[in-house]
Chain A
Amino acid sequence: MSVLRRSTLLFVTVMVLLPAAAADRLTVVSWGGAYVKSQMLGFILPYEEVSGTTVDVLEYTGGIDEVRSQVRSWNVRWDVVDMELFDAQRACRENLLMPFDHDTLPPAPDGTPAREDFIEGSLLRCGIGNVVAATVVAYDQDRIEQPPQSIEDFFDVQRFPGRRGLRRSPKVNLEWALIADGVPREEVYRVLNTDEGVERAFRVLSRIKPWVDWWRSGEEAIRLLETGRVSMTSVFNGRVFDAVQRGENFAILWDHQVWFMDVWVIPRNGRRTEQAADFIRFATNTESLARQMRHIPYGPVRRSALERIDPEIRRQLPTAAENTATAIEGDAEWWAANLDRLTGRFERWLERPVMVPRELPN
């Protein structure tokens, strides 16, 4: 056999084997901490067991920049991404995501078709909802002298002294700032839709800015509370549950919780899109969601999964009746349209210190 023929044979063999090897791995990108732990136990490890696929789990802190970069360069390393709803909508509009065929989703155990089993708004053209989570205020009952009763208290550093933790993002912060300034929750997005409304929200945030430590991931928020760096912080409700299980004496202020949905999406131009869809079908089946909810109190997007949740955990869901009296539904459409603009402004606002800096250029 000539060298050329042997090389050709070797090349063909490698080309045939490589995709087969690659097909046994899947890269899933999610949020880390207690949340990814619930996903690991809920369906990622079981999926590995069932499918024989090794799932590499990466953490990120949201946004669509990385997905955009990978898709546009046709160098897609992320097979499945857990996105916040407004990011998924933005990415879908930018044609960065694969459309998802809802008819391929498995029905509920009682045979109810998936389209009827999933809650309203959770089946997107480019993604499948997985959990409903909420941003809430949490505080350490062992450290705080006077627990806050409302979002207004969070913004009142005179009556409720101590540092605050807030997510480094305009999302939720602007809504809460307006609530603290007296805007009714039904009016929040209407007010934010005006320049004056945005200005008003930033003015309120400026009042507490010197007291704020900014976090990027839910884990950081919990760490701020655990170490006593802040007296209260905004945080995803599931992270508080996890910290309480570890023995922390944290409590949640449900007043004006902002709830939102997370969505599984598949970036375009990937090499394992079929396998990614298979993973999503498994991750969003009734059993997987119910199993995940044993480990984190986020609301499942399937009605059939909700029925299987322990009543004790069900009471801690953002969707529990006692927690929704003043809840705000995060307006994903509005954020999808305004996030880029407001993030730029938010970052500039953040860079400008409120206090006179100790050192000016010299």
Chain B
Amino acid sequence: MTLLVALQAQAEVDEVALLKEQLEALQQRLEDLERRLDGSGRTPAQSMRTPESRFETELLDQAVTGAERVEEAQVAAIDEPAPIRFGGALRFNHFLREDVSDSRTRRGDSGFDLFRLNVDGEIREIILSAEYRYSPSMDVIRHGWIGYRFADDSMVKLGIHRVPFGLLPFASHNFWDGVPFYAGFSDNHDLGVAYQRSDGPWDFHLAFYKNEELGSAGTLARYAPDVVRQGEQQNEEINRFNARAAYTLGRDTGCEHELGVSGQRADLVNATTDSRGNHWALAGHLDSRCGRWNLQIQGIRYVYDPDNPAGVSNDSVRLGAFGTSFDLAARGKLAVANLAYNFALRDSWLDQVICYNNYSRLFKDVGAGRDSELNTVGCGIGAGPLFAYVDLIFARNMLFFGDGSMADSDDDRWRGRLNINLGYYW
């Protein structure tokens, strides 16, 4: 019995010794492994206090097996946007014109406003963007261009695109827009080539436009006003150069101020006299986004100097868009003062409520016409894909309001319009 106990004790001692041996061997293997990872014979703690060696990185890369890389690739594929994306909008409009008695009697009019389709994409460095719009008054391509993105992120665009002039992308916040839009100095799209680049706080655009976007200056169904050939006015704008430079103070902070200047110069060809006049415009602009406030200030000076035949006034040029044509004083100044506030929303189903007052004015330097003014107070309200503009628009001597005109007219009454536009955007 004693022998049995002794043998059992000896066996336990042997087992402990064996386990210790195994443990030591294991520890030795671990240390070897760590030394291999370190690649220099230092202890791991020492190695971590020096810059990571390439060898160690490679070993770790190998250790993190192929499965991880596959997963990363899958994640990247999910995160990356599809190369070509589709979007669009469907909008309806309701308006009440206070200066039109039957509009008041009917409590306003409602109707279809717009159906829009967008295609955007980027395959390698080549970019595509196009937008088609159908509305009761027109059926147009608003823009359609192909771009190339360089390694320094600068870009060249070819096709119909927004003219880089003045406040970008818009010189207003509301649905109805401001006087610069109707004068062709905001959100205007023409056919040409443009180069844009950003260097830190600087932003530059250079562009050349052969002519208006549709290749036919007689067409009135266009998204934004251009000089058109209609009636006795047979002018057309060609060979326009644009340059825009802007500097952003406080870039990437909660209070950014973009200060910029823009200029453009074009020939004005008259089809009747077969001769050239010219056009130029200069603008200075400030777009200040500070916290929830946005202040936009802009001043524009422009001249159209057409070479009309005898008997046709040089005091105005004819513009066309939305299926109609209208006149603009040939020389003038434009002023814009817009203020907007983005409301903080509590835990609400609304995503966005932005209220604004947009004021713009055309000071006419020729003719006997009174200045044209437009003031819109309203809010843009967003909830998911829905976005509504509720605007109260007041205008004096302005296109589409009574007998107002941006050229030679003298309508001195302020006229109002309530406009509600509801759209589904995808």
Q: Residues of B with Cβ closer than 8 Å to A?
A: 26, 29-30, 33-34, 37, 44-45, 48-52, 60, 63-68, 71-72, 89, 168-170, 173, 187, 252-256, 289, 291-294, 340-342, 344-347, 351-352, 354, 380, 382, 387, 423, 425
Q: B67, A27: Cβ atoms under 8 Å?
A: yes
Write the chain B residue with the least CB distance to A213.
B252
Q: B67, A40: Cβ atoms under 8 Å?
A: no
Given contacts A57-B68, A246-B51, is CB(A360)–CB(B173) below 8 Å?
yes
| Partner among A41, A59, A245, A353 whose Cβ is within 8 Å of the Cβ of B72 | A59
Given contacts A49-B30, A161-B253, is CB(A358)–CB(B65) below 8 Å?
no
Q: B45, A310: Cβ atoms under 8 Å?
A: yes
How long is the Cα–Cα vector from A354 to B92 in the complex, in angstroms? 28
* Chain A residues with CB under 8 A of B65: 54-57
| Partner among A36, A55, A294, A356 whose Cβ is within 8 Å of the Cβ of B48 | A294
Write the chain A residue with the least CB distance to B174.
A360
* Chain B residues with CB under 8 A of A313: 45
| Partner among A58, A345, A352, A353 whose Cβ is within 8 Å of the Cβ of B67 | A58
Given contacts A247-B51, A361-B425, is CB(A353)–CB(B45) below 8 Å?
no
| Partner among A45, A56, A351, A356 whose Cβ is within 8 Å of the Cβ of B294 | A356
Q: B351, A356: Cβ atoms under 8 Å?
A: no
8 closest Cβ contacts across the A-B interface? Answer: A210-B254, A356-B294, A56-B67, A361-B387, A56-B65, A355-B289, A356-B340, A294-B45
| Partner among B34, B45, B253, B346 whose Cβ is within 8 Å of the Cβ of A199 | B346
Residue A302 at the chain B interface, CB threshold 8 Å: no
From B29, B170, B173, B344, residue with most partner A Cβ within 10 Å: B344
Q: A356, B293: Cβ atoms under 8 Å?
A: yes
Question: Within the complex, what minimum Cβ distance (angstroms) separates B47 from chain A?
Answer: 9
How long is the Cα–Cα vector from A225 to B33 in the complex, in angstroms? 33
Residue A145 at the chain B interface, CB threshold 8 Å: no
Q: A295, B44: Cβ atoms under 8 Å?
A: yes
How long is the Cα–Cα vector from A45 to B59 in the complex, in angstroms? 11
Given contacts A210-B291, A348-B351, is CB(A361)–CB(B68) below 8 Å?
no
| Partner among B68, B340, B342 whose Cβ is within 8 Å of the Cβ of A56 | B68
How long is the Cα–Cα vector from A55 to B354 in the complex, in angstroms? 53
A-B contact pairs, 23 of them (CB 8 A): A27-B67, A46-B33, A49-B29, A55-B65, A56-B65, A59-B71, A210-B254, A246-B52, A247-B51, A294-B44, A294-B45, A294-B48, A295-B44, A352-B351, A353-B342, A355-B256, A355-B342, A356-B294, A357-B342, A357-B354, A361-B89, A361-B380, A361-B423
Given contacts A295-B48, A356-B289, A361-B89, is CB(A351)–CB(B351) below 8 Å?
yes
Residue A359 at the chain B interface, CB threshold 8 Å: yes
Residue A189 at the chain B interface, CB threshold 8 Å: no
